[in-house]
Structure 1
Amino acid sequence: MSDMNVGSVSGVYSAISTSTPVVSDSAASAAQTPAANNADVAAVYEKSEGAANKATYSINKMSAEDRAALVQQLKQDQVDRQNQMVDLVRKMFSDQAGVSKLSELFTPENLKNVTQADIDKAKEDVSEDGYWGIKQTSQRLFDFASALAGDDPDKMKEMQAAMEKGFKEAMGAWGDELPDISKDTLAAANKMFDEYYASKNQ
């Protein structure tokens, strides 16, 4: 596995973590995508109905070309989401300057331009089944790693290490502890890796 591939997972995870909005009654996100778009990158982890209930990992079984196409699709989806976040940040902080840490941005004064619709959308996006929720975000992380590594446990371990590195980098960019949703997302993604490794030992 090349360093570029490992780095790309770290970068994508870092981008996901730093752009995951902290939602309270005063914080919001503009990450908006119709449900149909989410179907394009739907979960591909499937539990079989066999006696051993052995997991199947369809991304890992894809051809190298199909995995490369999936990586490009996931990257483009991430770029689109980040662009939407940038638009909201511009709206929220158009009159702010000199903020050195991302965690300092989410203050009542800085959120004065946020509408109730923005807040409602943010709450939806980070809900249990929302795009930025734990389930979908952890699944995207695992799918991206699977697309890069194929059905190779050693390469999957490299991807898992890169994901954890990206999480640590996101903490540095955030300037503080990441919110619980980010920590829970990392734990959920790590569980998917553990289940994958267990499936290889059956």
Structure 2
Amino acid sequence: MGVNGVTEVTNNIATTYTSTVNSPVEDKKKDKEVEVKKEAAAVYEKSEENSSTSKVSSKETDRTKIIQQLKADDALRQQQLLDIVHKMMGKQAKTYGIANSENDEDSIWKFLAKGDFTVDAATKAQAQEDISENGYWGVKQTSERILDFAKALAGDDPEKLEKMRSAFEKGYKQAEKTWGGELPDISKQTFDAVMKGFDELTGKVET
């Protein structure tokens, strides 16, 4: 065997030895790399799960806020109708008092309307017209305005309309309390007309 042959054999032995010795080390490195990748994947998956939970929590919070806002809007609408009824009934009562200023039985309404018992002829004539059958403060127009306002707030939803009915009743009672007793007959007739209107709107009677 020549020098070249010996050198080749020596190189082959060295290569084989190096491969044999380094192989376990390289395998360990590869194993570690795999483990690191697995751990990284596990961490990523956990992060993804937390993100999903956070999204669900955020949606629940948004839903709660929406529900609270709807309830607040609903309460506001009822209060708006209550306030308008209170004012309307009071104005109707004042107008009635002025129109009937010479009637002793209606002296309470004269007092509430003017603060005294003096009503000039022109004011009285206008008041009488306003509380007539087709007058602005008559039963028909006053009840229609209240119902129109209720429909504008509640739409065609029967449940919301019932809440508007309740608000109307509370507003009427507040008007009675403000004026110190029962409201005049024209207001009682208006009350009945509005309640009948709510019955028709909610389907409790045939229209």
Q: TM-score, normalised by structure 2?
A: 0.56
Q: What residue identity is the alignment partner of 1:26?
A: S
Distance 1:196 1:25, change over 3 A: closer
- SS state of the match for residue 105, structure 1? helix
Query: Is the aligned partner of 1:140 residue 2:149?
Result: no
Q: What residue identity is the alignment partner of 1:181?
A: I
Deviation at 1:149, TM superposition (A): 0.3
> Retained in 2: the 8 A contact 1:13–1:166?
yes
Q: What residue identity is the alignment partner of 2:87?
A: A
Which has more helix, going by share of residues? Answer: 2
Where relative contact order (Cα < 8 A, 6+ residues apart) is larger, the structure is 1
Which whole-Å CA distance do the structure 2 matches of 1:193 and 1:140 have between them?
13
Deviation at 1:199, TM superposition (A): 7.7
Q: What residue identity is the alignment partner of 2:156?
A: D
Report 1:20-59 matches (<5 A): 20=92, 21-23=95-97, 24-26=99-101
Deviation at 1:176, TM superposition (A): 1.5
- Kindly provide the CA deviation profile for residues 111-168 of structure 1, in whole angstroms up to 9, marking residues without a partner as x: 32x2101000000000010000000000000000000001100000000100010000
Q: Identity of paired residues, percent? A: 39
- SS state of the match for residue 128, structure 1? coil
Query: Is the aligned partner of 1:164 residue 2:169?
Result: yes
Larger gyration radius, structure 1 or structure 2? 2
Match of 1:117 in 2: 122
Q: Superposition RMSD on alpha carbons, in Å? A: 2.7
Aligned pair partner of 1:11 in 66, 69, 83: 83
Deviation at 1:19, TM superposition (A): 1.2
Aligned length: 127
Q: What residue identity is the alignment partner of 1:145?
A: A
Which whole-Å CA distance do the structure 2 matches of 1:25 and 1:183 have between them?
16
Query: Is the aligned partner of 1:183 residue 2:201?
Result: no
Which whole-Å CA distance do the structure 2 matches of 1:155 and 1:144 have between them?
13
